[in-house]
Every structure is written in structure tokens, then in C-alpha cells.
Chain A
């Protein structure tokens, strides 16, 4: 069966520090991969999605970047965190061309101080 792993679960980082959040999927190949952010009271904001290795689409220009170095690995990064980067970050995957929807990871609570 397919599983998605996301870590760390919580993170407290100072302003200006770098960020790396990792997400991996097991049990499937060539998934679509997604990074979302939830800020309090603001719903789900799609940050990046990827339909294949090295293919990254950005939905919102901001202080973050994403990479997909391997088929089932998706990384969210920042060189210098801002206070506004605080939030709950969710990774998700889906299959191509199906109506299966997304499967979400358990999320990372990022607090920038």
C-alpha cells in the first residue's frame, strides 16, 4: 500500500535561517506531488506541485522553493525564513489522470521566531 512520510512534525526556526522540509512517498511510482501551507484562518494555499522529476510549478511567488531530486521525494526549502513563513505545511500526492484525489502527509508545524 502507498504511504507518505513528512518530517519533521514541528520546527522552530529563527528569522533568516534556512529551511528544508522533506516528503517521501512509498508504494507508487511517478506520483504527482504537492506542497500546501495553512495559515490560521486562511485555508489551504497551494505552494508548489510537481508532475515528474525536476518538474516544479510554483503557484505563489514567495520566499520558498521546491525540488524533486528523486521520483518520490519532494523538498521544500528557503534560504532565509521570514516571520510570515510560519504555518502548517502539508505534503500530498496523487496519481496521474485519476479521480482518486490527494493523500496528505501528517504535516509540519513551522514557527519562525
Chain B
């Protein structure tokens, strides 16, 4: 079974500092990987995804993530945090085979940005 581990349920950074949110996955087949963001009392919004091709993927709002197969990781980064980045972030994985209709989500990381 697939699983997703997000290290750190709460990450706090200063405005302008680097944002690094960690995600490790386990999958028996080549994965599709996703990062979602959720603002309070809203649904989840797709930030970026990796399916095939370039392992460094860029998303909305200046975020990017790198798929590292050898480390089974898909960490999310942003060079300079903005106050508007404060939200909860979810990493998710599915397999690239025929059963890819089910995403497995991590437990989420709450990002706080301090002025």
C-alpha cells in the first residue's frame, strides 16, 4: 500500500525566508506526486504535480518541488516566503498504473509566516 509522510505537522518561517516542506512516499510502482494547498475553510487547490519527465516541477505562487526517486522524496520549496503563503499543505501520491484514481494524502503541514 502507498503511504505519504510529511515531516513536521507545523513549520514556522519568517517573511522572506526559505520555505521547505518535506514529503516522503512509498510506492511499489512509479508514482504520480502532488502538492495541494488549503486556506482556512476552503477546499484544496493544486500547487504542482509530477507525472513524468523533468523531475523539478514548478507550480503556482512561486513554489517548486523536486522528485528524487533514490530518496523517495518530493519536497516543496519556495525561495522567499510571503505572508499570503500561510496555509496548510498536503502532499499526495498515486501510482501511474491503472488504479491511479485514488490519491493517498499525507497528514498535512501547517505553514506559519511571521512578519
Instruction: Report B-chain residues with C-beta under 8 Å of the C-beta of A43.
Output: 90, 105-108
Contact A96 B105 (CB under 8 A): no
Contact A102 B96 (CB under 8 A): no
Contact B106 A101 (CB under 8 A): no
Is B34 on the interface with A (CB-CB < 8 A)? Answer: yes
Contact B101 A90 (CB under 8 A): no
Is A94 on the interface with B (CB-CB < 8 A)? Answer: yes
Contacting chain B: which of A65-73, A75-83, A105-113? A105-113
Q: A43-B108, A99-B51 are in contact. Are A49 and B102 (CB under 8 A)?
A: yes
Contact B43 A90 (CB under 8 A): yes
Q: Which of A46, A49, A103, A109 contacts B46 (CB 8 A)?
A: A103
Contact A106 B49 (CB under 8 A): no
Contact B90 A44 (CB under 8 A): yes
Residue of A nearest to B44 (CB): A104
Q: For residue A109, give the distance in angstroms from its CB to the closest CB of chain B.
A: 6
Q: How far is the CA of A74 from the CA of B17 in the complex (A)?
A: 42
Q: A43-B105, A43-B106, A99-B51 are in contact. Are A107 and B42 (CB under 8 A)?
A: yes
Could you tell me which B residues sit within 8 Å of A by CB distance?
32, 34, 36, 41-46, 49, 51-52, 90, 92, 94, 96, 98, 100-103, 105-108
The 4 closest A-B pairs by CB, nearest first: A104-B43, A99-B51, A43-B107, A99-B32
Could you tell me which A residues sit within 8 Å of B by CB distance?
6, 32, 42-44, 46, 49, 51, 88, 90, 92, 94, 96-107, 109
